[in-house]
């Protein structure tokens, strides 16, 4: 139960931080042709999950659920996607790595398109 609580708290905090940082970045750059807010959050999330994962390989405690699963999960799922791809690359799973990247991007784009089409009047 403690694990679920840590994930819950971290996820909520990550989601709020994503909103605040994304909005601030969009206002700061004020360029409509590139999603600087999402880009900033995703890259920052990748950095955070990299640091947290590296740290928690050495130290195993409940804070990994707060920071990695909770915070990074709420902050951005792109960080998890990138960390998983890094793991595949480290383990030499190059075919799976390529398939995962391509299928995630292509299917993700298709899912957005399909969602728009379903709602479209």
Known binding-site positions? 73, 76
d(CA 55, CA 65): 13
Q: Using the 8-state DSSP alphabet, how is residue 61 labeled?
A: S
d(CA 69, CA 75): 10
Known binding-site positions for Na(+)? 73, 76
């Amino acid at each position: 139960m403690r694990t679920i609580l840590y994930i819950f708290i971290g996820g909520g905090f990550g989601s709020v931080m994503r909103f605040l940082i994304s909005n601030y970045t969009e206002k700061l750059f004020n360029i409509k042709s590139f999603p600087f807010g999402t880009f900033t959050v995703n890259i920052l999330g990748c950095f955070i999950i990299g640091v947290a994962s590296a740290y928690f390989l050495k130290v195993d405690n409940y804070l990994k659920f707060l920071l990695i699963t909770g915070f990074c999960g709420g902050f951005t799922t792109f960080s998890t996607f990138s960390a998983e791809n890094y793991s595949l690359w480290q383990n030499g799973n190059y075919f799976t790595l390529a398939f995962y990247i391509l299928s995630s991007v292509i299917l993700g784009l298709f899912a957005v398109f399909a969602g728009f089409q379903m709602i479209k009047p």
